[in-house]
Amino acid sequence: MSKENEKTVKIYKEKASKYLETTIEHDNLNPEKAKHKREKLNKFLSDNLKYIPKGSKVFEIGSADGKNAKYIESLGFEVTASDIAEAFISECKDKKLKTSNFNILKDDFKEKYSAILAWRVFVHFTKDDIVSILQKTYNALEDGGVFIFNAINREIKNTDQEWVDFPNEYHMGAERFYKYFSKEELDEIIKNTDYKLQSFHKEGGENQNKWLVYVLKK
């Protein structure tokens, strides 16, 4: 576990409640935009999980408010929502989700899954962290299972990594570690695994290139 991620985990454990509050405030600034983003993500999730048998087990890494996990559950899957902060776990429990206090860099999966999701969490991992995560998720998937994740595109940033808090959007009152990857760098990392690329696209930001979105298949 990298020192960068270890420090960021500590911040989330201390300030998860603040994150939940500011996320709601942010969405309320432009409810229509928030609704559109949610509908777009839901469609992406349903499109990429439609070949997984209903009732299959799905695990989400870093569930935060549990909205992704709850939507996936509504599609007919057995979902485990996980996070490292008790405030996030509590929020997921309030949504009647099965939960796990789980640190992907320290803890082992106890079951096999048909799909694993890590949405907007790769931003807090170093390259070595990601190499470890890809191996661990691969081992935890059933044959034919999928791993879905995204990362912030390096081409929109003027640095590879930074410590940052946001003045308005998702403000927490403490800086967290952010790591940015080029598509070429992530492609090279993935090439050194046994995963097969199922799909890739870019989305978000002014030019629809903020996020690098991958669906990998075992």
**Domains in the chain: ranges and CATH:** 3-217 (3.40.50.150)
Q: What amino acid occupies position 42?
A: N
**Mean pLDDT of the region 198-202:** 97
Q: What is the pLDDT of residues 74-99, one digit of tens each?
A: 999 999 999 999 999 999 999 999 99
Average of per-residue pLDDT values in the chain: 95
Please list the residues that pair with 217 across neighbouring strands: 146, 196
Residue 76 identity (one-letter amino acid) = G
Q: Which pLDDT band, with edges at 50, 70 and 90, does 141 fall under?
A: very high
- CA 62 vs. chain centroid, Å, equals 6
CA 11 to each of CA 90, 100, 167, 177, 189: distance values in angstroms, whole numbers, following the listed order: 17, 19, 16, 10, 28
Tokens representing 142? Answer: 């059933």
Report how far apart, in Å, the C-alpha atoms of 62 and of each of 156, 184, 215 are.
Answer: 24, 25, 17
Task: Dump pLDDT digits (tens) for 2-40.
Answer: 999 999 999 999 999 999 999 888 888 899 999 999 999
For tokens 């081992």, the residue is: 139
Query: What does the H/E/C string look like for 158-211?
Result: CCCEEEECCCCCCCCCCCEEEECECHHHHHHHHHCCCCEEEEEEEECCCCCCCE
Residue 199 has pLDDT above 90, yes or no: yes
Residue 13 confidence (pLDDT): 96
C-alpha dihedral sign at 203, 134, 142, 79: negative
Per-residue model confidence (pLDDT) at position 171: 83
Q: What is the pLDDT of residue 48?
A: 97
Residue 84 pLDDT: 97
Q: pLDDT tens digit string along 100-116? A: 999 999 999 999 999 99
pLDDT computed for residue 28 by the predictor: 87
In whole angstroms, give the CA distance from residue 114 to residue 49.
9
Q: Count the helices and strands in the chain (H runs, E runs).
A: 6, 9
Sign of the dihedral defined by the CA atoms of residues 19, 24, 30, 32, in that order: positive
Q: What is the pLDDT of residue 46?
A: 97
Query: What is the spatial distance between Cα 127 and Cα 137, in angstroms, rounded to a whole number?
Result: 15
DSSP string for 52-77: SPTT-EEEESS-TTSHHHHHHHHTT-
pTM metric for this prediction? 0.96
Q: Which long-range contacts (CB under 8 A, 24 or more apart) does 92-96 make?
A: 92/63, 92/65, 92/66, 94/66, 95/66, 95/69, 95/70
Mean pLDDT (whole number) for 157-182: 91
